[in-house]
Structure 1
Amino acid sequence: MRFVNLAMQNGAPAELVLNTRDEKDRAAVYTRAFLPPQRLILLGGGHVSQPLSRYAADLEFDVVVVDDRPGFANAVRFPEAGKVVCDAFEHAIAELAITPYDFVCVITRGHRHDAACLRVLLAGNQPRYLGLIGSRRRTIELFKMLEEEGFDRAKIERIHTPIGIAIGAETPKEIAISILAELIQQRSSRSAERDGTRLALASHEPELLNYLSSNKEPCALAVVVEKSGSTPVPTGAVMAVNQLGGIVGTVGGGCGEHEIVKHALDVLRTGQARMIHLDMSNDVAEEEGMVCGGRMKVWIEPFSEE
């Protein structure tokens, strides 16, 4: 077991790399990412941004809204946004310090500031996602102008436009949903590691990471590495268990989790990691009241920050 960037320095993701062996001594490598909260920067506080900000916040994006009009850039209009900036777009973008983990949507009023926003964005760090609202004809002309100004064609071609997934959206709420669908698609797109398997869940889990980085007492980590059928959690669900049986995180609750805690206590006593095959037939997930009929493979190993 190896943690990379447990403290999530510079806003970069943390990763847990598991080198496992099953009861037949077959080796497998699994990687569990812990992504920082994704920042969604909306450049423009118009009618599309309002529902988009609300929907995105519900899906755990850290929303930042930028507009140069006080009547559009305020907390009354965007109560769910983590930050609302009223400033010139170029200055606001520079102050926000775009990172490779950000999602940026350029949706300025009447497209008046699109070119100015893109000039600043293309000249700096590239976000994970950059989308531009507008017709194909207009964006083709804009991209041609930017390329003639000397901006990298490869960077320009990475811009998602027309923004959103084609669902025939017409109203501001429908357009917001189409954009959000593309954001979810981009956020969820993860490729398999060359040396193993990347687990499905990649949520931040701040309580767990804080516990692991500050805790000095022995504990074991239990991670769901494979599943089949109906289970209460996806692969990548992770739980820490201390010597008293106290837990941080979850691998699904119910009788199955209780069984994993017992195995984790034994792993702490013996110091020997192990793979547990958990049959959840007729088990009931404690939190959801959901009857499960699937199976999970859970890797349990003593945790060390070293």
Structure 2
Amino acid sequence: MKATVFQELLKKLNRGESPDLVLSAENQTYIRKFAKTDRLILLGCGHVSIDVYRLAKTIGFDVVAVDDRPTFANFERFPDAQIICDDFASAIETLRITHRDYVCVLTRGHLWDAQCIRTILSGEMPYYLGLISSKKRAAGLRDILLEERFDQEAIDAIHAPIGLKIGAMTTAEIAVSICAELIQERHKQFVKPRENELTQTNVDFALLKYLASSDEPRAVVTVLSSTGSTPVKSGSMMAVNTLGHVAGTVGGGCGEAAAINKARRMLGKSDQAVLRIDMSNEVAADNDMVCGGSMTVLIENIT
């Protein structure tokens, strides 16, 4: 496979498109889709927001950080985020929130929370809207919004208190609960793939950039199918170089080790190989690595 294929994928993703990667193996065609990166808007740049930002980046969100205080809304605190330092109402108007967006209201107080919620409810409702608050505060704000004749369905859709109930106490734990809820809501949009489509549609920009480069010999490993309790689904991807260094993952453990070894052996020799990995056999059991499943991976040299 040519590195230019991944260069073109990156160009399309950067234009906001959802490109496909077409793979062929053993007289079959597979489609690996790459979904658009979802936008997560953090209204408020306090300590919880920093922890949410760090986790959200690792699970594939593009983050926008908003605050009216320059000492909070800056690239030092949110190095890879889009920063907007403005009052919340103006920032929300600038962002033009759509039904695809995820919004977390994490401001420093009730007045700013209410301002954000009112402004959002006056426009297009985001796919996810969460508010950090106690149950009592959330109920009080809901009653006020109903009295002000905001749409009840939209009010009922607000996740308040924000996050899954995991007994979170620290800012880091609260961030975990929020990001867990974001994942839960994102997966509700999941559409079962068609017969020739692979399951995973996430975008790993670091992996794609490495595959698009021409610095060294490398191979790309793509999971075509998986059964049983394998740690990843079809469409998971990993790059391997001659030293066995990897980017991305196809699940770790004995299965990934087998794919790495096969990729290293074929670098510079054959263009493509299909490897079937059984992780419930006696060899895996002897190494205490039984997953109880199997997977088929496609390994291709990048030129």
Q: TM class by shorter-chain length?
A: 0.5 to 0.7
What is the number of equivalent residue pairs in this alignment?
Answer: 285
Determine if the alignment matches structure 1 residue 144 to structure 2 residue 143.
Answer: no
Equivalent residues in 2 for 1:176-195 (5 A)?
176-189=175-188, 190-194=190-194
SS of residue paired to 1:162: coil
TM-score normalised by the chain length of structure 2: 0.65
Alpha-carbon RMSD: 4.9
The CA distance in 2 between the partners of 1:102 and 1:132, in whole Å, is 15
Asked if the contact 1:232–1:292 (Cα under 8 Å) also holds between the matched residues in 2, the reply is: no
- Residue 141 of structure 1 and its aligned partner are, at CA, apart by 1.6
Alpha carbons of 1:94 and 1:204: their partners in 2 closer, same or farther (altered >3 Å)?
A: farther
Aligned-pair CA distance for 1:64:
3.1
- The DSSP-based 3-state class of the residue aligned with 1:94 is helix
Task: Classify 1:231/1:83 alpha carbon distance in 2 versus 1 (closer, same or farther; 3 Å).
Answer: same
Secondary structure in 1 matching 2:64: strand
What residue in structure 1 maps to residue 41 of structure 2? 41
Task: List runs of 5+ in structure 2 lacking aligned partners.
Answer: none
Mean Cα displacement is larger for which, 125-134 or 289-298? 289-298
Q: Does 1:14 align with 2:16?
A: no
What are the superposed Cα offsets for residues 106-139 of structure 1, whole Å, 9 maximum, x if unpaired? 1223221334323443455554422123334224
Q: What residue in structure 2 maps to residue 286 of structure 1?
A: none
1:71 Cα deviation from its structure 2 partner: 4.6
TM (norm. structure 1) is: 0.65
2:259 aligns with one of 224, 242, 256: 256
Structure 1 pair 32–225 and aligned structure 2 pair: CA distance change class (3 A): farther
User: Which amino acid in structure 2 is aligned with residue 49 of structure 1?
Assistant: S
Give, in whole Å, the separation in 2 of the partners of 1:74 and 1:225. Answer: 42
Instruction: Supply the AA of the counterpart residue of 2:146.
Output: K
- In 1, the alpha carbon distance for the partners of 2:196 and 2:21 equals 12
Cα distance change on mapping 1:12 and 1:139 into 2, 3 Å: farther
Q: Distance in 1 between matches of 2:174 and 2:142?
A: 21
Provide the rounded CA distance (Å) in 2 between the counterparts of 1:68 and 1:113.
Answer: 10
Tell me the distance in 2 between the aligned counterparts of 1:299 and 1:154.
Answer: 47
2:224 aligned residue: 225
Give the share of equivalent positions with the same residue, in percent: 38
2:90, 2:288 → 1: CA distance?
A: 50
Cα separation, partners in 2 of 1:124 and 1:140, compared to 1, 3 Å: closer
Aligned counterpart, 1:104: 103
Which deviations, in whole Å up to 9, do the C-alpha atoms of 1:31-82 show, x marking residues without a partner? 443553x443211234533443444456564443222234543456x35563
C-alpha deviation, 1:292, in angstroms: 6.8
Q: Secondary structure, in 3 states, of the residue corresponding to 1:180?
A: helix
Q: Cα gap change, 1:258/1:34 in structure 2, threshold over 3 Å: closer, same or farther?
A: farther
Tell me what 2:208 maps to.
Answer: 208
Query: Would the aligned equivalents of 1:267 and 1:300 in 2 still touch at CA under 8 Å?
Result: no
SS at match of 1:85: strand
Contact 1:131 1:159 (8 Å CA) reproduced: yes
* 8 Å CA contact 2:258, 2:277 repeated in 1: no
Contact conserved, 1:66 with 1:87, CA < 8 A, in 2?
yes
Q: Deviations over 1:173-230 (max 9, x none)?
A: 4433322221232345533125566524623335426856x98xxx996520222467
Cα offsets for 1:149-191 (capped at 9, x unmatched): 5x5x554443322211123445544433322221232345533
CA contact (8 A) 1:6 1:15 kept: no
Task: Say if 2:51 and 2:175, in contact at 8 Å, map to a contact too.
Answer: yes
SS in 1 for 2:181: helix
Determine the structure 2 residue equivalent to 1:166: 165
Checking the alignment, whether the CA contact within 8 Å between 1:102 and 1:129 is kept in structure 2 is yes
The one-letter code matched in structure 2 to 1:202 is N
* Distance in 2 between residues matched to 1:64 and 1:45, nearest whole Å: 10
Matches of 2:195 and 2:226, distance apart in 1: 20
The whole-number CA distance in structure 1 between the counterparts of 2:89 and 2:224 is: 45
**Closer/same/farther in 2, CA of residues 32 and 117 from structure 1, 3 Å limit:** same
* Equivalent residue number for residue 69 of structure 1: 69
SS at match of 2:165: coil
In structure 1, the residue matched to 2:199 is 199
Separation in 1 of the partners of 2:240 and 2:47? 47
Q: 2: CA distance between counterparts of 1:290 and 1:101?
A: 43
